[in-house]
Chains A and B, each alone.
Chain A
């Protein structure tokens, strides 16, 4: 719970936009680094990888966004936001400048069960701009305090084109890191691209991460998720060791307003992280 405003979960904490990074060629993905205006608020905002928060742009309203920074990034929190032309809040967020003041409310949701994954091999599969909470997770896993608690870390991340890859500098660093096995792919390369080409599910089948003592964390667009389940099951991952994150429209973020209800569960409160086994029960396997 948040200190200071613990009694009222509907009020936002004031933050300042410290840094804005344009992530892609299409310029519709921006990462916002936020600094809490009150120190106590930062202390109270203790998140886990996979959780989200409600971002509010003044006068426009709120929307849920996955937290892209790691709990080990103690000085700030980051969110990568995709702008949709019809999205009132995402458009307002994209028109912000560094130094502007906005609001944040959270953290909400269950997050990835990283404590239960200690001592295991971790397989991370991400596609497109759904990579944000997986990026938080990789940053967390590679941190010197956490890395010894996990075995082999394999990550596969893909985007439509090289210009659409998020966090390009970190991807470079991770590809050269002895602490993990990072595979970056694009659906189709360009003249300057020397890396791998191919869809994420195909690359997953080629990399063949072992399923023994392993958990797979998968985030991506619904089509990618659908096509990724089969190779994972073929590799021997049981449905309760395939973990993903759902997205739904939300308003309250705390399991009351009814918007994100799916098969009796609230994505905001019971999720957003669910196992594939749970998703098959909730929605017949629909993401």
Chain B
């Protein structure tokens, strides 16, 4: 574990220094919204946000991408990204989500080359939360507003400066490489960081999700799923904004003389997702689809990977047009 510190006014220098060697992705204003995007020379980093509208998964698993073109004698892979990238400013919940996606996309037997290339070139600097939103519940799902999971470095905002702490050897190497810009924090700065970390965790509300996996398992035949689903519009916004949802489809398109293969995010809450050519659909009703989505996150991944695939970011709560709330779903579905 190595520590570092940087005054906020010097962050631009860090961006420039890193940017000279690769891409620097950080919180910048785009259309009046704080977004994670590649930082341009004209940009200033923005540090006062609860979280981004979009989760970081799109940087590694884009909404849509051409993965190959059809050549005369087989398929030609789209070139994979090279060079290093730094991802700065993801919240700890979102950094954690990347470790879950890793388990799906980087498992040994069939690693996803596109996701892997982007992940392996990226160093992640998570920014601890000062003021968690009312919809945040990371502490109920194995997270924390200053959790280090998925981060190479955790940065904590202490007002005029950030205190950094490495969480991986790659993070340690980064702190060493940019030591001139990232000096060592004073004792007072470390104290301020510890106080900041302690106060933030108290602001996250608990949703009483203990034993949720077993409870949901027992509820799989409950009529409550159908009742809940009566409110669901099936729009899929919860899945597209969820940092861990990773359903997708592969599509072949004919474009000019050469076709191409596209991979695009998809969602299990859409009826056509499981519709077969024969007309058979194993999940015909919204209740079945909603149950599947919730069970996948809170039961199936717990069984197959040992982790609940929810990081408590609250995006699905904030953005649901029907005001559905996963916290209520988890506590109200009776066995």
Contacts and interface: CB of A to CB of B under 8 A. Distances in A.
B20 interface: no
Given A11-B68, A248-B282, A256-B110, A37 B247 contact: no
Nearest to B278: A84
A66 B57 CA distance: 33
Interface in B284-302: 292, 295-296, 299-300
Secondary structure at chain A's binding surface: helix, strand, loop or mixed?
loop
Contacts of A11: 68, 74-75, 77, 261
Given A84-B277, A249-B274, A264-B304, A62 B250 contact: yes
B113 A251 contact: no
Contact of B277 (A14, A87, A263): A87
Contact of B259 (A58, A89, A249, A264): A58
Interface residues of B, number: 44
A60 B300 CA distance: 32
B73 A10 contact: no
B260 to A, nearest CB: 10
Interface residues of A, number: 39
A254 interface: yes
B110 A58 contact: no
Given A11-B77, A258-B246, A59 B253 contact: yes
Contacts of B105: 256
Contacts of B304: 264
A255 interface: yes
Secondary structure at chain B's binding surface: helix, strand, loop or mixed?
mixed
Contacts of B276: 247-249
Contact of A251 (B73, B77, B248): B248
B277 A90 contact: yes
Contact of A257 (B248, B282, B303): B248
Contacts of B275: 249
A59 B68 contact: no
Interface in B262-280: 263, 266, 268, 273-279
A151 to B, nearest CB: 34
Contact of A86 (B68, B110, B277, B296): B277
Given A59-B253, A62-B252, A256-B104, A10 B67 contact: yes
B263 A10 contact: yes
A9 interface: yes
Interface string A59-72: 11111000000000
A89 B74 contact: no
B112 interface: yes
A11 B250 CA distance: 11
A256 B112 contact: yes
B277 A63 contact: yes
B119 interface: no
A224 interface: no
Contacts of A60: 252
B281 to A, nearest CB: 8
A249 B282 CA distance: 9
Contact of B250 (A13, A248, A251): A251
Interface in B140-185: none
Contacts of B295: 264
A255 B278 CA distance: 22
A87 B279 CA distance: 9
Nearest to B107: A255
Interface in A74-106: 84, 86-90, 103
A88 B282 CA distance: 19
Given A12-B74, A61-B251, A87-B277, 14 more contacts: A9-B110, A10-B68, A59-B254, A249-B273, A249-B276, A251-B250, A252-B250, A255-B104, A255-B110, A256-B248, A258-B247, A262-B282, A264-B295, A264-B296
Interface of B: 67-68, 70, 73-75, 77, 104-105, 107, 109-113, 246-254, 259, 261, 263, 266, 268, 273-279, 282, 292, 295-296, 299-300, 303-304
23 contacts: A8-B68, A8-B113, A9-B111, A37-B74, A58-B252, A59-B253, A59-B254, A60-B252, A62-B250, A63-B277, A84-B279, A86-B279, A87-B278, A247-B276, A248-B276, A249-B274, A252-B248, A255-B110, A256-B112, A256-B248, A257-B250, A259-B249, A264-B295
